[in-house]
Amino acid sequence: MAQRTRLTKQTINDMFAKFEANNPHPEGELDYVNIFTLLVAVVLSAQATDAGVNKATKALFEVADTPEKMYALGEDKIRDYIKTIGLYRNKAKNVYALCKALIEQHNSEVPEDREALEALPGVGRKTANVVLNIGFGHPTIAVDTHLFRIANRTGLAPGKNVLAVEKLLLKVIPKDHLLNAHHWLILHGRYICKARKPECYHCIIVDECKFKDKVMEAGKK
Q: What is the mean pLDDT of residues 151-180?
A: 97
Provide the domain limits for residue 181.
9-26+141-208
Q: Where a domain ends, among 108, 136, 164?
A: 136
Residues 131 and 149 in one domain: no
Q: What is the mean pLDDT of residues 18-45?
A: 97
Residue of 69, 144, 167, 171 marked catalytic: 144
CATH number, residue 173? 1.10.1670.10
Q: Where a domain ends, among 101, 121, 136?
A: 136
Work out how many domains the chain is built from and give that number.
2
pLDDT > 90: percent of the chain: 93
Consult the annotation and say whether 99 binds a ligand. Answer: no
Write out pLDDT tens, residues 142-156: 999 999 999 999 999
Residues 57 and 124 in one domain: yes
Residues 13 and 83 in one domain: no
Beta carbons of 184 and 19 less than 8 angstroms apart:
yes
Residues 13 and 39 in one domain: no
pLDDT at 188: 97
65 counts as catalytic: no
Domain annotation covers residue 213: no
Consult the annotation and say whether 200 binds a ligand. Answer: yes
> How far does CA 32 lie from the centroid of its chain?
14
Write out pLDDT tens, residues 91-139: 999 999 999 999 999 999 999 999 999 999 999 999 999 999 999 999 9
- CA dist 107 to 3, 94, 102, 168, Å? 47, 18, 6, 35
CB atoms within 10 A of CB 175: 8
Residue of 9, 58, 93, 126 marked catalytic: 126
Tell me the one-letter amino acid at 72: A
* Residue 177 confidence (pLDDT) above 60: yes
CATH number, residue 115? 1.10.340.30
Q: Where a domain ends, among 136, 165, 190?
A: 136
Label residue 216 by pLDDT band (50, 70, 90).
confident
144 counts as catalytic: yes
* Residue 164 confidence (pLDDT) above 80: yes
pTM: 0.92
